[in-house]
Amino acid sequence: MKQLTVIGFSLLALTAGCTVIPGSGLPTKNKTVVYHENDSADSTLDSRVNLYPITLSLVESMRQPPRFAQNNNALNAQKAGYRYRVGSGDVLNIAVWAHADLNTPAPTSSINPQSRQVSNGIWVDEAGYLFYPLAGKMLVRGKTLPEVQNMLTGRLKRYIKNPQVSVNVTEFRSQRVTVSGAVGQAGQLPITNIPVTLLDAIDLAGGVAENADTRHIKWTHNGVDSTISLQDILQYGDLSQNHLLSHGDIVYVPTTENSKVYVMGEVGRQSALRMGNHGLTLTQALGDTGGMSQAMADASGVFVIRNAPADHEKPIHVYQLNLKDATAYALGNQFRLQPEDVVYITAAPVTRWNRVISQLTNSISNVNALDDTFQ
């Protein structure tokens, strides 16, 4: 009788939620439960979810359009019309033919922080002015080299007959673009008289690292962020995504560390998988985690949970794949996952029942052992 009483209390504790286990519950008594002012009985999680069966028509609707090699005529026109404009900090070399006394370069007071050497030439000051003998003080910031040359020629005509003036930049210091992230050598690159594109900047920075996410490169231009796929440029020749860079632009190459898919539930091993630069399909994710558990998984309960912030009414999208028919693996192989997706495989009903019975059996066995000890 004593044994049955102990078993009865054990079953009662188990079926009551096993709150005797440390940390298995969180009583709200004497605790302040805070709700958002917009929370209501209608704003449940279920009302914010869309459920989509993974079918052939769904896969076709989500398929990305084929990518082809594309020219970038707009970029070619920009490069053809590109002219470097002088800025504050640039060092200019000015030569006047047949007047060697004017051509002697004078050391500037500006020091190159990289070479730590004094530069020879004429430095454009912070206000955008330079001083040249006979020509005096001139505002050159924002002007092209031919425009600076014409200004000098016009002023030197007062003292020299038919002056022949040559102007070029010996050090480009005024304008920079920043390349950061998973590249060979992150840092700043100077804007020079040769136009620099996004692809050029990455090459000049040593190329991308092995762990670079080449599909989601961020380009910041005039405070506006754009996502560029270097993978499409290199693999498909989609030059429409290549752009001309200008002063202040930022090119950030992320790593694949943050591009992960989480596989949970009844699989060989629950894992966080990196997407890689070639993407990941649902079937690949299942294969990389050891596949579905043949004994415990519910073949009809393969779910992909995805956050869709653009859908303000129902921002949680759940996709369900029914694998009772083995041919459905073909659909899974065409369903492409996105970063932060959660793949969850549910347990079969019989598995859940067996687990409950197993817990009950273990509890009864432990009680029997305890009862035998005290007999």
Token pair recorded at residue 62:
């989500």
pLDDT given at position 175: 96
Token pair recorded at residue 372:
């035998």
pLDDT given at position 228: 95
pLDDT given at position 357: 59
Burial degree of 59 (CB within 10 A; 0-12, 13-18, 19+): middle
Burial degree of 305 (CB within 10 A; 0-12, 13-18, 19+): middle
pLDDT given at position 110: 47
pLDDT given at position 222: 95
Q: What is the side-by-side strand order in the sheet with 316-321?
A: 49-53, 316-321, 297-307, 342-347, 260-265, 271-274
Using an 8 Å Cβ cutoff, are 84 and 192 in contact?
yes
Residues 200, 236: Cα–Cα separation, whole Å: 17
Each residue of 153-180: pLDDT tens digit? 999 999 999 999 999 999 999 999 999 9
Say whether pTM exceeds 0.85.
no
pLDDT given at position 150: 95
Each residue of 205-241: pLDDT tens digit? 999 999 999 999 999 999 999 999 999 999 899 999 9
Using an 8 Å Cβ cutoff, are 253 and 186 in contact?
no
pLDDT given at position 72: 94
Token pair recorded at residue 159:
């003292």
- Exposure string of 154-189, with b = 16+ CB inside 10 Å and e = fewer, is ebbeeebeebebebebebbbbbebbbebbbeebeeb
Residues 61, 336: Cα–Cα separation, whole Å: 12
Residues 191, 244: Cα–Cα separation, whole Å: 11
Burial degree of 19 (CB within 10 A; 0-12, 13-18, 19+): exposed
- The four Cα atoms 220, 226, 227, 231 give a dihedral, to 10 degrees, of -80
Q: Give me the helix-helix angle, 349-374 and 2-15, nearest 10°.
A: 150
pLDDT given at position 66: 83
Reduced to 3 states, what is the DSSP secondary structure of residue 286?
Answer: helix
Measured distance between the N- and C-terminal CA atoms of the chain, rounded to whole angstroms: 13
pLDDT digits (tens), the chain, 375 positions: 544 444 454 444 445 544 455 655 667 777 777 766 565 544 567 788 999 999 999 999 998 888 888 999 999 999 999 999 999 999 999 999 888 777 755 554 444 444 334 456 899 999 999 999 899 999 999 999 999 999 999 999 999 999 999 999 999 999 999 999 999 999 999 999 999 999 999 999 999 999 999 999 999 999 999 999 999 999 899 999 999 999 999 999 999 888 899 999 999 999 999 888 888 999 999 999 999 988 888 888 899 999 998 888 889 999 999 998 888 999 999 999 999 999 999 987 655 555 555 656 555 555 455 455 555
pLDDT given at position 100: 77
* Token pair 């380009």 in the structure block, residue: 219
> What residue ranges define each of the domains in the chain, with the CATH number in brackets?
49-59+258-352 (3.10.560.10), 91-171 (3.30.1950.10), 185-255 (3.10.560.10)
Using an 8 Å Cβ cutoff, are 135 and 149 in contact?
no
- Give bridge partners of residue 76 from the DSSP assignment: none
Pick from 306, 300, 313: nearest CA to 345: 300
pLDDT given at position 352: 54
* CA separation, residue 31 to residues 28, 47, 90, 359 (Å): 5, 28, 65, 32
pLDDT given at position 115: 38
Strands 129-132, 136-139: pairing is antiparallel
